[in-house]
Structure 1
Amino acid sequence: MMYNSKISGLGYYVPENIVTNDDLKKWMETSDEWIQERTGIEERRWIDPSTGDTTAVMGAKAAKIAIERAGLTKDDIDFIVFATLSPDMYFPGGGVQIQDLLEMPTIGALDVRNQCSGFIYSLSVADQFIKTGMYKNILVIGSENHSGGLEKSTRGRNVSVIFGDGAGAAVLSRSEEKGKGLLSSHLHSEGKHAKELMLEGPSTQRWVPEIMAENDPEDVSYYPYMNGQFVFKHAIGRFSEAIMEGLQANQLQKEDIDMLIPHQANLRIAQFIQKKFQLSDDKVHNNIMKYGNTTAASVIIALTEAWELGKIKDNDLVVLAAFGSGFTWGSVIIRW
C-alpha cells in the first residue's frame, strides 16, 4: 500500500541578536541603501556565541516546536533528515546531534548537503520513506550558522551582507487521505557550475593545517565565494522551470497557486518569479528583509511564518521552490 505524507507540525528558531545593515559598517564599507538595493535585506540574525546556539542547537529548538505542534512526542519520531551546509563539525553531521539533544531513541539520522535547496531535497527524501510505509513520522530540519564563517570585511561584503543564521523544522507524517499532503517533488542539479557558488576549504582538497601553514592573508579559499550575477541569472530560470514542472505533473495551472514559498536568496529573484507567474502579494511570502538568506533553513522558516500568520489554509495549494549552490534546485507541490 502506498501512503501519502503530510506536514503535521512546523516550527522555527532564529537567534535574538539582530544585525542591521547599519551595524555592518563596523566591519566593512557599505550602506543600508547599497544592501537593500541589491538584495532587499534590511537586517539578519547572527548567533551571539555566548548564548550557546549552534547549527544543531538551533535545529533542536525548532524541532521541539514542530513536534509539539504535531501533537507528538520525541518518541513518536521514526527518522531524522537534517539539511545544512554549516554543520557544527566536519563530521559527524547534525542529524545524530539532534537525536542526542532531543534524547530520542536510537532512530536513524540522515544528513543532506544540498545548500539552499537542502530542505526541498530533505522533504522529498522523507516523503519517499513515508510513501513506501517504512516510517510514520519523520523530523525534517534545515539549520544554518553562516555568521561564524563569513569574511566580515569590505573584501567579503558581497557575500557576507547576504547571509543570516536560523533553523526551521517540519514533522512529516503518514496520511491515508487521498489528494492531500505532498503531491510531488522535483529535483535537479548541474554540477558544471559548482565553482560559481562554493566554499573551497577546509576540505580534503584544502585541509586546515595546509592553510594555517601557509598563513597567507590573501588566501580566501576558506571563505564562501559567489559569482553573484551568474547565480542570479540561473536562479530565475531554474526557479520557473521547477515550479512549472511541479504544476504540470499535477495537471495544475499557475492560477491554482494559493501560496508560493520561494527560497529567500534575494528579494529581486522572488519578485521576478512573482511577476512571471502573475501572483498577487498575498500569494507569495518573503521574509528575507528580516532574516537574510538562511540557506537550507530559509524555505522552512518562511513556510512556518506564513502558516503562523494564517496565510495558509486547509486545501490551499502551496508551492515550495529553491535554487542554490551545486547548482541544485527543486520544487515541492503540497495540497494543505
Structure 2
Amino acid sequence: MLKQFGVGVAIAGSGSATPTAKLTNEQLSQVVETSDEWIQSRTGMRERRVATVEESLCSLSVQASQKAIEAAQIPKEAIDLVILATSTPDDLFGSAAKIAHQVGATHAVAFDLTAACSGFVFGMVTAAQYIRTGVYQNVLLIGADVLSRWVDWSDRSTCVLFGDGAGAVVLRADETRDRLLGFELCSDGTQNHTLTLAFQGETKPLVDEVNAKLGNYQPITMNGREVYRFAVAKVPEVISKALFRANLTASDIDWLLLHQANQRIMDAVAQRLKLPSEKVISNIAKYGNTSAASIPLALDEAVRDGKVKVGDRIAASGFGAGLTWGAVIFEWGINNG
C-alpha cells in the first residue's frame, strides 16, 4: 500500500571497496610507451586499482554495500530495493540480484541500471522517486565497474585512464524533510560514437536465409578531445540547472563532487562555477576513472576522513558514455540517534 506523497529522501550511509592490486604509472610505462609525468600532467592520475582473478564486480559491490548498510545503522533485511549502476556486470543478464542475495537483503527487489559514468547520479534520482512516492523505505544504491576487463592494454590513450572499484550509499525515507534538493539529467545519442564499448560480431548462417550475429564486446574506444570539450561545456551547465531547481547558487555549496575522469576537467568546471579548489573532492590520483564507482568511492572516502559532515551540501555530477550527463544536489547524512 502506498504511503502519502511528499516523503523526503535522506542519504544515510556510505561504503566503498577497491581491488588489492595497484597499477602505478611507472608500471604502466612497462606495458605501453608512456611515463608518469605524461599521465599526471594530462589526467592527474598516479595509480589505479585492477581486479585480480579472485575479485569480481559482485565481490567489490558486496564489500561496499556491507559498509554502507553498517554506516546507515539499519538491518540488511530492511533494504527494500537494490539498484546496481554498472556497465560491466559479472553477468550480462544483471548482477544486482546476486549482490542483494550475498549482502543478505532478503526482502529486496534488485535490478541493474546502465548509464556508464553517469550511472550513480541517474541511480540516485531513480531511487529517490521510489522513496518519495512511498513505494520503498530503504534503497541500497551501488555504483561499481571493473573496466580493466574491457581496456585495450596496448592503447596508451585509454589504458592509463581506467581503474576498478565500487561505492554504495543507503537512501532512506525521511518524514521530516527532503535532503535531495534538486537534479537535472541529460543525454545525447548523436555523440554516442565518442565513447563506446561496442558489440562487434560476425554473421553466422543458420538455415535458408536466417542468419545470426555472434561475437563479443570490443575494448573501450574514446575520442578524448571531444569528451573533454563536452564535459567542460555541459557539466557546469547541468549543475547550474540542478542548483536552480534546488533554489540555490554555487556559493551555497560546501563540496563539488564530480565524476573522477580527469583532474583538468574538474578544475575547469570548478573555475566556471567560481568554486575554490578546496571545495573540490578528488581522489583521482589514487584510483583513476572508475566509471559509475567514482562518485560514491570519492564520497565515502571524504565522509570517513571527516571532510564531509552531516548537513553539508554537495553538488555531484556524472558524465560520460551515451553520451549522458546529470547533476544532483543533496545534503549529506542523517542523525541516526
Given the alignment of the two structures, is residue 228 of structure 1 paired with residue 234 of structure 2, yes or no?
Answer: no
Q: How far apart in 1 are the matches of 2:224 and 2:326?
A: 20
Structure 2 residue aligned with 1:151: 152
Relative to structure 1, is the Cα distance of residues 195 and 253 closer, same or farther in structure 2, using a 3 angstrom cutoff? Answer: same
- Corresponding residue of 1:333: 329
In structure 1, how many angstroms separate the alpha carbons of the residues matched to 2:118 and 2:98? Answer: 21
Question: Where do 1:124-273 residues align within 5 Å?
Answer: 124-153=125-154, 156-178=155-177, 180-201=178-199, 210-211=214-215, 222-273=218-269
Tell me the equivalent position of 1:294. Answer: 290
Deviation at 1:223, TM superposition (A): 0.8
Q: Residue in 1 aligned with 2:102?
A: 101
CA distance in 2, matches of 1:204, 1:334: 46
Q: Which residue of 2 aligns with 1:21?
A: 25
Offset from partner CA, 1:284-305 (integer Å, 9 cap, x none)? 1011110000000001111111
SS of 1:45's equivalent? strand
Superimposed CA distance per residue, residues 93-116 of structure 1 (whole angstroms, 9 cap, x where no aligned partner): 121111222233252112111000
Kindly indicate whether the alpha-carbon contact (under 8 Å) linking 2:202 and 2:214 is maintained by their aligned counterparts in 1. no
SS of structure 2 residue aligned to 1:268: helix
1:3 to 1, 4, 7: 7
Q: Gapped runs of 5+ residues in structure 1? A: 213-220
Supply the AA of the counterpart residue of 1:254: A
SS in 2 for 1:271: helix
What secondary structure does 1:105 align onto? coil
Q: What's the counterpart of residue 303 of structure 2?
A: 307
1:87 maps to which residue? 89
1:318 corresponding residue in structure 2: 314
Quote the Cα distance in structure 1 between the aligned partners of 2:202 and 2:237: 34
Please give the alpha-carbon distance, in whole angstroms, between the structure 2 residues aligned to 1:204 and 1:299: 37
- Structure that is richer in strand per residue: 2
Residue 34 (structure 1) aligned to one of 7, 13, 38: 38
Listed one character per residue, the Cα deviations across residues 201-244 of structure 1 (whole Å, up to 9, x for unaligned) are 257999x98458xxxxxxxx711100110010011111111110
Shift, 1:309, TM fit: 1.8
Deviation (angstroms), 1:184? 2.0
Q: Structure 1 residues 267 and 203, CA, compared in 2 at 3 Å: closer, same or farther?
A: farther
Deviation at 1:159, TM superposition (A): 0.8
Q: Secondary structure at the match of 2:127?
A: helix
Shift of 1:182: 0.8
Residue 60 of structure 1 corresponds to which residue in structure 2?
Answer: 62
Q: In 2, Cα distance between the equivalents of 1:235 and 1:119?
A: 17
Q: Residues 272 and 222 of structure 1: is their aligned pair in 2 closer, same or farther, counting only changes over 3 Å?
A: same
Please tell me the residue identity of whatever aligns with 1:74.
K
Q: Which runs of 5 or more structure 2 residues have no equivalent in the other structure?
A: 205-211, 333-337
Cα distance per residue 1:244-293 (max 9 Å; x no partner): 00111122111111111000011100000111122223211011110000
C-alpha separation in 1, matches of 2:203 and 2:46 = 36
**2:335 alignment counterpart:** none
Q: Distance in 1 between matches of 2:167 and 2:325?
A: 19
Question: How many angstroms apart in 2 are the aligned matches of 1:334 and 1:176?
Answer: 16
1:72 aligns with 2:74: yes
Q: Deviations over 1:3-35 (max 9, x none)?
A: 011111100001111100011122211111111
Contact kept, 8 Å, 2:202 with 2:215, in 1: the verdict is: no
CA RMSD in angstroms comes to 2.0
Percent identical pairs in the alignment equals 38
Q: Deviation at 1:157?
A: 1.4
TM-score computed with the length of structure 1 as normaliser: 0.92
SS in 1 for 2:281: coil
Shift of 1:148: 1.9
Amino acid aligned to 1:136: Q
CA distance in 1, matches of 2:306, 2:169: 17
Alignment partners' CA distance in 1, 2:170 and 2:135: 15
Match of residue 274 from structure 1: 270
TM-score (norm 2): 0.91
**Shift in CA distance, 164/11, structure 1 to aligned 2, threshold 3 Å:** same
Report the CA distance between 1:130 and its aligned residue.
0.3
Say which SS state the counterpart of residue 26 (structure 1) adopts. coil
3-state SS of 1:22 partner: helix
* 8 Å contact kept, 2:80–2:107: no
Query: Matches of 2:201 and 2:11 in 1, distance apart?
Result: 35
Secondary structure of the structure 2 residue equivalent to 1:87: coil
